[in-house]
Amino acid sequence: MELRPRRFRTGLLIGAAFAAGIALGPASGFLSRHLGIDQAFAEDSNRTDTYRLLTLFGDVFERVRAEYVEPTNDRDLVENAINGMLTGLDPHSNYMNAKAFRDMQVQTRGEFGGLGIEVTQDNGFIKVISPIDDTPAARAGVKAGDLIVALDGKTVQGLSLNEAVEKMRGAPNSRITLTVRREGNDKPIEMSMTREIIHIQVVKQRLEPGDIGYIRLTSFNEQTDAGLKKAIQTLKQQSGDKLKAIVLDLRNNPGGLLDQAVSVSDDFVDQGEIVSTRARHPEDSQRWNAKGGDLVPNLPVVVLINGGSASASEIVAGALQDHHRAVLLGTRSFGKGSVQTVIPLPGNGAMRLTTARYYTPSGRSIQGLGITPDVEVQASRTETPRFGPEREADLNHVLKNQGGTPNQPAPPRTDLPPMVKEIPNKPPENWPTFDASKPDTDFQLQQALVLAKAMAGQKRVSLH
């Protein structure tokens, strides 16, 4: 669904290297109105302060050009200053040069070159949000939560996020070595991999025993909603139109485009609000409602979430939870409740600016809190210490949670099958080590399938 009514197409991001909305129009009016430029110069006192600060910037700029130990590039100085201004606001605002902006647009379409990892910056290092399925990074063993500390033996400290990502990109078939710090490991781990063109398969599906459909969404790009519709149709055909329930896997899905999150939610919700956004200026606030047409009416839906489920994933999970259209199973989500607008700038670069907070249909802001599942199930028996922040609330300069209903999780569900009480919240001691290629080792998925079957049985009983 194209968001045409507004000047900008809005993307919900997790601070990943490339996954965002693309602006649809000029930014000059937005900048003057929303960044307060007109107001700043309207009053003499504000104008004097602004001129004084701009003079200070100019003085520092000239002093660096004249006296830094090595010759400097004016463009680098200005772009670094702009990026510093934006990254100092919150974890998700930043500047993209022309190349980074082009790369972002390519990825939003679902294809880009590189290693296949979603990353953010964390205390000078590069943190892996999640590896993308079936990519060099995933095959090499990169995991969500890894901290990339060096590239080809050279530290990433001192590099901006865009600079680090550019170094990870390169010609297909070229090699690169990542050095990472991982939870539970005292020593750094080195991983060598070969770059390739990444074709993101954002939707995967398979039919599980008992005619339970399993659908995994890895991100929200321009292909997601169409891929979901196709996956549901395929599952219906494979089951001979006897599909009993759906398990929708949003684990480690870092988000992406807002319009895709709205469309995916709309595929399961018949009516009512899906999500709303509130900006600094009331006239820029928006609300999206379901258009009707549940693709699987009357079928139970179980949604899998974890700490890597962020942004657009949380919009879908929150909408389905608030409408009691699905039961959420897993662990608390990441907690990114802000909206970023990508604004093109002269010179073909762009800035990614946080412009609003979003709210679930019940009015909840999940910013810094995340979404609590209806049925909590851990992926493993032990929670090992992590290197660095784990969720949005742990990041620097994080936005406050404000403007929503009282900060509390959704009320307990009263429509769940009685067997929910029997679902263990962690694997038994003899549970096999998780292997992504073997679904029967995925404890959370197996419990979701058990729950889906029970809900399908309960549905049949209620229909008789």
Residues in contact with 55: Cβ distance below 8 Å, sequence separation at least 6, in sequence order: none
Catalytic hit among 130, 219, 309, 311: 311
Active site residue 322: yes
Radius of gyration of the chain (CA): 23
Rounded Cα distance between 57 and 155, Å, is 29
Contact between residue 9 and residue 21 where contact means Cβ atoms under 8 Å apart = yes
Cross-strand pairs, 376:
330
Q: Extract the tokens encoding 429.
A: 């001691």
Other Cβ atoms closer than 10 A to 158: 9
Catalytic residue among 259, 336, 338, 374: 336
Secondary structure of 148-179 in the HEC alphabet? Answer: EEEECCEECCCCCHHHHHHHHCCCCCCEEEEE
SS3 labels along 170-234:
CCCCCEEEEEEECCCCCCCEEEEEECEEEECCCEEEEEECCCEEEEEECCECCCHHHHHHHHHHH
Distance (Å, rounded) from C-alpha 390 to C-alpha 121? 12
Residue 365's closest CA among 249, 275, 264, 262?
275
Q: Residue 244 region, left (φ>0) first, then alpha (ψ -120 to 50), else beta?
A: alpha
- Cβ–Cβ under 8 Å, residues 438 and 373: no
Separation CA 253–CA 352 (nearest Å): 20
Residue 312 phi/psi, 5-degree rounding, is: -55, -35
Are 331 and 377 within 8 A, CB to CB? yes
Name the β-bridge partners of 287: 276
Cα 125 from Cα 150, distance rounded (Å) = 8
Residue of 322, 338, 365, 442 marked catalytic:
322
Query: What are the residue numbers of the active site?
Result: 311, 322, 336
